[in-house]
Structure formats: C-alpha cells, structure tokens
Amino acid sequence: MNSKILQSFEKLAIEQPDNICVLDDVQQRTRQQVMQQVEAVATELMEYQHQVIGLLADNSVQWLIMDLAAQRAGIILLPLPLFFTPDQLQHALQSAGAIGLIHDRPLMIDDEFLGESHFVKSLMLTFTACRNISVIALPPGTAKITFTSGSTADPKGVCLSNDNQYQVSQSLLSVLKMENVRHLALLPLSTLLENIAGLYTPLLSGGEIILLGMEKTGFSGSLSGNIFQLLTTISHYQPESLILVPELLSALLIAAEQGWQPPESLQFIAVGGSRVASEMIERARQIGLPVYEGYGLSECSSVVSLNTPVQDNPGTAGKVLPHVDIQIEKGEIMVSGNTFLGYIGTDLSHQNTVSTGDMGYLDQDGFLVIQGREKQLLISSYGRNINPEWVESEVLAHPGILQCILFGDAKPYCTALIYTHLNDAALENWLSHVNKKLPVYAQITKWQRLEQPLTAKAGLLTANGRPKRDRIFTFFQHDLEAIYQESQYGIF
C-alpha cells in the first residue's frame, strides 16, 4: 500500500538517496536506507495487514521506521503515550481491538492480557500479542488511532486516515515556506502534534529529523526533566525548528535570561497546547527564541491555525491553515475540511464539522483568537463568567512561573495553584501586577504553592501539557476547600 506521505518521501529518496534524513544518538539513516528498512519491516509485519498494532516506544529512528512501515503494510498504528498507566494502556489496546504491540521496554500490563512475544529483527524491537481481543469495527480508511488524554481514566481513541495527516503536513509546508528543515523532536512522537508537524513535515520538506530519547533530551514531558541536559542537547544539535508546550517555553526563557544562549540556527519554534500570553512570546523573541503560537486538536489531525514569520499577531493562534475552514457558532469554534473519521467504540459516523468545545473568534484581520474551553468556564458565586486560561496565561507570562491552575467555580473569588521558582514576596509582587490588568472578579485573591510540578504521569496533565482540571481539583480538593473556608469577603 502507498500513502501520500510515503509517495512524497519515496520521490525525495529517488531524487537524493544519499541525503541524511533522520538520526538519533547512535545512528543515522539516508533516505534510501530509511526506505529499505521500511520495506523490510513492512514485509516482516505484512501478516498483520488491516489490523491494529500498538507502538510503545521512546523517540528514535525505529519509531519513524515503524510509522512509515505501518503505512506501507496497511497496518493501523496505535501510538501509545509513555506516561499511560498500565490500566490505560490495556484500555487503549482493548478498545482499539489491537492484536499486539511493538515496544522498547518491559510491559507492566496484566500477564493474562498478554500473549507470546517475538523479536522483530528488521526493527530491533519486540512484538507482544494481546489475548482475548474482540473485533472492533473502525471507520473505513482508519490508518492511525491517537488517544486523547482527556479528563477521564479511559481516554478516547480518535481515528484518522493517512490523508488527514498528509493534508496538515502539506498546509504547514505551504505557509512556513521552509525547505530542508533540521528539526529536533522534543515532544514524544506519540503526541500527534510532534508526529505530524515534527516528523512528516520536516521529512517532506527535504530536511532531517533528530530523534532522541527522553534521557538524551532531558525532557520527560514534565518539569521533572533535566533542564541542563535539554539545553546542552539544543545547543549541540543546532536545530532550525522546535515544537514546545508552554511549560517548556517557560523553562527555556528562564535559562536564556540566566545566560544560556539559544543557537542562532533556530528559525521557527511552534508553541501550542494551551494559551500563551503575548508578553511571553515577545520576551522570547527578544532573547533569540523565534516563538509562534498555534492551535489544533486531535479530531482535526492536530494543527488548525498558526502564526508564521509572514503572518503574525502575538496573542492570537494565527491564521487558519489553507486545508480547513472555521466558523463561529454561538461563540464556539467549529472546524471543517479535514475532520477525523470518528471515535472508536462509538456509533458516531463521519462528521464534516468538528465542534471543538473551544470558545473564540476571528479578528478583523483573520487571526484566530482562543478564549478558552467552553466546559472549563468558571462561573463565580456572583454569576461572573471567568475564562481560566485567560487569567493563567497572564500569570505564566513571568518565566519564573511554570504552572498556574485557576479555581473559583461557584466561589466568591479566584484561587490559584502555582508552581514557581520565585519566592513568596516576588510572587506576590507579580500577582499584584497581573491583577491590575484583570477585572476585579477575575483577580487572584489567594494562591497556594505547589511543592512539585503537575505531571502527565500522575494523570494531572494531558500529553500537550493541558491541565486536567477535574482531576487536579479532586487531588487538591481538601486544600482548596480549606482556603475558601478562611474568613474572606467576596468580590463583586
């Protein structure tokens, strides 16, 4: 079988077979070598054609090879986040009807669920079969299943076609106008944004991708990573492009303001996952980090809009990409043009329009402004509507503040949980500065310091760094309720 992604890459491999296109810390591959290994892996796994196989592995050349080999062999690929718990992994495999998974680490899943294992020689990874799997009807054309890491213990599986993914990569190439891009993948490749914008797009630009494991990048998907290792890696490999979540951007900002020199090779840094204050973007650019905010969601194969060097308006999510259209209905962003095929385990037929659940609008120049999640809207006990992402982005504009989660639903005032390197006095001073820019009802009246950062591994963040608010509230409910029980006049 041949996807448009493979066809485009094969053309590049024929034109310049000896160009290096991917490397990690131990190996590199030319385009011709990649295609040869893709063919070998596809041949070895051809018996699983039209079936679902999970992929649980760190960023590496093998990850890329397996992704392309699945397209060649007609295998439906199920990339699995490394932070998933054993129960979430088993749920994902069962709900997708996966016949097995390819992995680079020991599995902690229930032994009764797992069958025999064998070594995939052409890939140098292990295949383990799954037992007692039911046949699951998937939407026609499904080539990849990506699991949202929403607010429940059992995430939803989004079914995408190869064409869905190809359209996004082509749109990105057309608006960025970057050729032969040297990209360093910092986010896990199981994150759809990195998979499409950080893997396919640089590859099809004629460029090369640097795929390093979490131990080598120093970034494990949360602030518990090794920032020194991260900085060393970026400086050593001299990439032209990066994809960051806001949390990671904050860490790089702190480092740069403390003396780290971002490499001059950097031309474009995309940041997404949650809203970023324009003040933070401007500060990043002043110190050599060419940051541009975008917006997307899994149901649209990731990127929907993006700021670029040519069309740029900090504080917005950029211009809508050419392969999609956006309408605003009752304040909600609706996307059409490249929608997903459906969720696994539901009767939802293919929809031409996706209801994003995000509130926003297009400004007079056509830039998309994101106002926050409809379901995350806080309504104070005085009936005031408060968008938490708006307030949080203002707080996070300070590079010394790495996480901020706002609460205040059905309460007289807002409270925040904050993870920061600042001392109490400096934090109070910054919050006072932020509050002066906010209406009284949205100001942060009280706050509590987080001793440890929130992580995806603990189930409190999504893979893109978005807070799972319901779970965070449950985890800190006792502390938050204690704050509101203290004597305090409400604010109108």
Q: Quick check: 421 and 250 in contact, CB under 8 A?
A: no
List, for residues 443-484, the tens digit of each pLDDT value. Answer: 999 999 999 999 988 889 887 788 889 899 999 999 998 888
- Over residues 140-145, the mean pLDDT reads 96
Across the chain, which distance is largest between two alpha carbons, in Å? 73
- The residue with tokens 């807002």 is 414
CA dist., res. 39 & res. 73, Å (int)? 9
**Structural domain boundaries in the chain:** 4-136, 163-340+349-374, 377-487
List, for residues 335-382, the tens digit of each pLDDT value. Answer: 999 999 999 977 656 678 999 988 899 999 999 998 877 777 787 766
Residues whose CB is less than 8 angstroms from the CB of residue 116 and which lie 6 or more positions away in sequence, other chains included: 128, 129
CA dist., res. 444 & res. 438, Å (int)? 9
Q: Which of 32, 70, 29, 35 is nearest to 53 (CA)?
A: 70
- Let me know if the fold of 4-136 is the same as that of 377-487: no
CATH of domain 163-340+349-374: 3.40.50.12780
* Domain boundaries 4-136, CATH class: alpha beta
Burial of 285 (0-12, 13-18, 19+ CB in 10 A): middle
CATH architecture of the domain 377-487 equals: 2-Layer Sandwich (3.30)
SS3 421: coil
Residues whose CB is less than 8 angstroms from the CB of residue 237 and which lie 6 or more positions away in sequence, other chains included: 182, 184, 210
Residue 5: pLDDT above 90? yes
CA dist., res. 467 & res. 451, Å (int)? 17
User: Picking from 50-54, 267-271, 321-325, 479-483, which range would have the lowest pLDDT averaged per residue?
Assistant: 479-483
Q: Which of 117, 95, 116 is nearest to 104 (CA)?
A: 117
Output phi, psi for 175, to 5 deg: -90, -30
Transcribe 384-406 into DSSP letters. Answer: -EE-HHHHHHHHTTSTTEEEEEE
Q: pTM of the entire structure? A: 0.83
CA dist., res. 217 & res. 429, Å (int)? 34
List, for residues 198-218, the tens digit of each pLDDT value. Answer: 999 999 999 999 999 988 898
- Over residues 144-164, the mean pLDDT reads 77
